[in-house]
Amino acid sequence: MSEINVTPFVDVMLVLLVIFMITAPLLTVGVEVDLPETDSPPISGDDEPLSITITRDGTTYLQETEVEVGDLIPKLRAITERRPDVRIFIRGDRDIAYGRVMEVMGALNGAGFNNVALVTDRRQADDDEADE
């Protein structure tokens, strides 16, 4: 009999598909920052935004790659193929200087990227009760 049995191949592919479907959302942002907390509602949207992270020591990351603020705009233009309507999330550590976040936002705005949002953690209900 000279037929190829594809059943084991299909089984392996389905298992790999399930594994990647489960792990892919967990790998979206890998830079650890301590985000400030607010009462704002979650941001909605269908597309996957780009993420710019500013850590406690002032290091800036585009997705998971460390970049200088001067190199940020050329890299964003290359990634977005010069589409300024792409969504960009800025994640800044709660302990960094306000000026550092404004420096990044000013560079983005000056380059024509206007769809920018600041990311925060959602304030817990017990924190709200303690503040009253």
pLDDT at 96: 85
pLDDT at 16: 92
What radius of gyration, in Å, describes the C-alpha atoms of the chain?
A: 20
**Three-state SS at 62:** strand
pLDDT at 17: 92
Q: Write the pLDDT tens digit of every residue in 71-95.
A: 888 888 888 887 777 888 888 888 8
Query: What percentage of residues in the chain have a pLDDT greater than 90?
Result: 7
Q: What is the pTM of this model?
A: 0.59
Domain 30-131 has CATH 3.30.420.270: yes
User: Do residues 119 and 90 lie in contact, with contact meaning Cβ atoms separated by under 8 Å?
Assistant: yes
Distance CA 120, CA 50 (A): 15
